[in-house]
Amino acid sequence: MSITSLIFIFSSSFMTLFPVNNPIGTGFIVNGYFAGLTSEQRSIAIKRLIINYIIIGVGTVAIGHLFLILFGLAIPVIQLGGGFLICRAALGLLSDGSSADNTSNAVPTANWEELQGKIFYPIVFPISVGPGSISVIFTLMANASVKNNFLQTGVNYLAIALVIFCLAGLLYLFLTQGEVIVKKLGTKGNMVINKLVAFFTFCIGIQIMVEGISKIFHLSIL
């Protein structure tokens, strides 16, 4: 069980999930929904959002392997298809020059009673964590699976789950301290960070695809 491999799984999972979940962009959208709430109501809403966020993300990691077995999906095929989707998402982020501005569009404000019914849907799912995020988690799990080694696979899955907790923490931080963070980074700073992350995500997607192809055709590419 290599520490280096765990660090790679954690870092690559973080770099892959970050632009898909985009806690900064999500924070802009969610802040629109929470506009007009009192401090106490906002605190309650944020806590419920983060709890549901973690349940969906970690729940996907917990039962994802069962779905792979249930539908008989081969890991190399998941790697190939998932890597392609990751590259496609990264290219979309790289070519979009106004993503930071698009996320700041105003969202109609709901009163507290209405908002409580919207926290899980649509604020948590699909705005905060949607089908794209879930498909990426499946891909990461497929890439982190080690054949005939359930212990190593389980540890790798824990690393992915830890990434989900970290992303939830970033979203919580942005929602609670959003105005301060935006002022310090600025629009250009947010855009630069998103572009860098998107580039590394594209590279990770290519690597996952190459690993899938090498396993399907029994090649030694990497």
**Would you say residue 221 lies in a domain?**
no
Written as tens digits, the pLDDT of the chain (222 aa) is 678 888 999 999 999 899 878 887 788 778 778 877 888 998 999 999 999 999 999 999 998 778 777 888 777 887 788 788 778 877 877 886 544 444 444 444 458 888 999 899 888 988 888 777 887 898 888 888 888 888 888 999 999 999 999 999 999 998 998 666 656 766 677 677 768 877 887 888 888 888 889 988 988 876
222 neighbors 210 (Cβ within 8 angstroms): yes
Is residue 222 included in any domain, yes or no?
Answer: no
Domains held by the chain: number: 1
163 in any annotated domain: yes
Range of the domain at 174: 3-216
Q: For residue 29, tell me if it sits in a domain.
A: yes
Residue 12 exposure: Cα atoms within 13 Å on the Cβ side: 24
How far lies 218's CA from each of 36, 100, 164, 210, 222, in Å?
58, 42, 32, 11, 12
Residue 179: per-residue pLDDT:
60
Residue 110 in any domain: the answer is yes
Q: What is the pLDDT of residue 64?
A: 78
Residue 185 lies in a domain: yes
Is residue 190 situated within a structural domain? yes
Residue 183: its pLDDT value, please? Answer: 63
Within a domain: 152: yes
**65 within 8 A of 145, measured Cβ to Cβ:** yes
Kindly list the distances between the CA atom of residue 20 and the CA atoms of 80, 135, 204, in Å, as whole numbers in the listed order: 18, 10, 13
**pLDDT at 10 (0 to 100):** 95
* CA–CA dist 53, 167 (Å, integer): 10
Question: Which pLDDT does position 108 carry in this prediction?
Answer: 45
Angle of CA points 117, 131, 14, to nearest 5°: 105
